[in-house]
Chain A
């Protein structure tokens, strides 16, 4: 989660939200959240689980 926050703090182009899955069940169901952390980029579910910084950047920029 902190990597996403760091990206948003570092770039005016990036926004980052942590979303508590249990508290928003409809949205979680729509996005098929079964494992956490689930990372959603521009509304599209991309991957589950934590990854190192370089891989995180590679994945979010590949989706951009």
Chain B
């Protein structure tokens, strides 16, 4: 298996993960998978997700990884829930974050590890008055 990150990338990610202000858990959910588009080859997406998340967890003392088979609350597998202080706050990545998208998972961990949001004050004020639940799905793809 090729390494997850190049040496200089790993150094940077270690630095970011070393600055997490609270523990973050990568909760990996495995289960029945949809057949991906042609060209995906023989990739075992679930096992590769475990490899990616365990490898990331080795880069930060306060980052951990836990794996469960078919836990409740996951519409698709594999998936990883990014959990500050081990708490499910509704931040998830469905599918294997390979290539450029690994940066989204790393970025999600960094954001989850902050005690204070990096959103602008007016954005936080707008969210504070939201009076109903809002579900955001962002479709991404590897490059």
Q: Please tell me the size bucket of the interface on B.
A: 35 or more
- Mostly helix, strand, loop or mixed at chain B's interface? mixed
Q: Is the CB of A39 within 8 A of B138?
A: yes
- Asked if B1 is at the interface of the complex by the 8 Å CB criterion, the answer is no
Residues of B within 8 A of A4 (CB): 136, 138
> Which parts of A1-20 form the interface with B (CB within 8 Å)?
1-2, 4-20
Interface bin, chain A:
35 or more
- Please, which residue of chain B has its CB at the minimum distance from the CB of A6? B119
> Is the Cβ of B140 less than 8 Å from the Cβ of A40?
no
**Set of chain A residues within 8 Å of B34, measured between Cβ atoms:** 23-27
A16, B91: Cβ atoms closer than 8 Å: yes
Question: Which A residues form the contact surface with B (CB < 8 A)?
Answer: 1-2, 4-28, 31, 33, 36-43, 53-54, 57, 60-61, 63-64
